[in-house]
Amino acid sequence: MNRRLFAGLLALAPALFTTLPAVAQAPAYPSRPVRIVVPYPAGTSPDVVARLLADKLQHPLGQPVIVENKPGASGMIAGEFVARSPADGYTLFMTVTAVMAMNPHLYPNAKYDPLKDFRGVSLVLDLPFVLTGSPAKPYTTSLKALIDAARQQPGKLTYASAGAGSHSHVATEWFTSLAGIRMEHVPYSSAQMTTDLVSGLVDVYLDPILTAEPMVKSGKVRALAVTGEKRSPLLPDVPAINELFPGFVTYAFQGIFAPAATPDAVVQRLSTELTRIIQMPEMQARITGWGYLPIGGSGADLDARLRRDYELYGRIIRDKGIKVN
């Protein structure tokens, strides 16, 4: 080789090797806006919480965080959209127990698999329920009185739900199994349910505690028991079903997921920031003031929770033969 050419190549080598890493290196995450998809309309609980998180999250990320509502088909439109989105950390899914742990058992044609198509980012919060009773009925003075009356009149007492296959439906069926009772299911899709409960047209309803608490305190309905591991600070005198039937604990979670192939480093970054935000005193006060339990934690924690709920509610749906219209 010509000596002059060889010398020239040697002189260029350091410059070549110092520029290669810069060419190969991907832009730091995030380099553009991040969106959080919510499967319900604006103003619903998951939407409100997602917007609170987005407002806090955009500062440490250094990019706008946008909430995008994709309601419809019991959350399955949004579920399929996120599952098919690029796994790059720029599309996240703020969703709930029913969409992830119940829908796949109720809708055989669901076009996403929660266990395969997603990975957890952070469990945001849990929402406990309270079993409320009509003040017009003599057997809704306590959980024991309700169970005794239901055992004496199999199939005669009624319970309302937010619709066939809803969390309130599936969880109440689980409760009746543990209690050894049979009650008639009356599904609702409107505010008429509250009127019917107050008047006594239906006997009980498993209501999210944040909507039930003011009605309980005003005397419009009776609180028989809560569904958390222990009593709620919002209703400290109301026992937990878990006290009578150990192991009965049901919450509606709200959590953030990402497409399954999202890189570990991206998920870890988001999980760390979200947990820090959820643990802020003002966020804790706001979330608990609504009757929620703020959680936070790793993506692995949320994955484990999803697997547990998926198996639990799937078994109840199969055993009880729960169908949707």
| CATH placement of domain 128-244 | 3.40.190.10
CA-wise closest residue to 313 among 210, 169, 109: 169
Which fold does the domain 34-126+251-320 belong to in CATH?
A: D-Maltodextrin-Binding Protein; domain 2 (3.40.190)
Q: What pTM did the predictor assign?
A: 0.87
Q: What is the pLDDT of residues 5-50, one digit of tens each?
A: 444 444 444 544 444 444 445 579 999 999 999 999 999 999 999 9
Per-residue pLDDT at 6:
45
The domain segmentation of the chain, as residue ranges, is 34-126+251-320, 128-244
Q: What is the pLDDT of residue 210?
A: 86
Burial 104-141 (b: 16+ CB within 10 A, else e): bbbeeebebebeebbbbbbbbbbbbbbbbbbeebebbe
The confidence score (pLDDT) of residue 23 equals: 42
Q: What is the pLDDT along the chain (325 residues), one digit of tens a residue?
A: 455 544 444 444 454 444 444 444 557 999 999 999 999 999 999 999 999 999 999 999 999 999 999 999 999 999 999 999 999 999 999 999 999 999 999 998 899 999 999 999 999 999 999 999 999 999 999 999 999 999 999 999 999 999 999 999 999 999 999 999 999 999 998 789 999 999 999 999 999 998 899 999 999 999 999 999 999 988 999 999 999 999 999 999 999 999 999 999 999 999 999 999 999 999 999 999 888 999 999 999 999 999 999 999 999 999 999 998 7
Please tell me the distance from the alpha carbon of residue 51 to that of residue 46, in angstroms, as a whole number.
9
Angle at which helix 45-61 crosses helix 264-278, to 10 degrees, equals 110
Give the model's pLDDT for residue 96: 97
34-126+251-320 and 128-244: same fold? yes
Residue 255's SS3 state is strand
Which residues fall within 8 angstroms of residue 100, CB to CB, at 6 or more apart?
79, 114, 118, 255, 257, 306, 309, 310
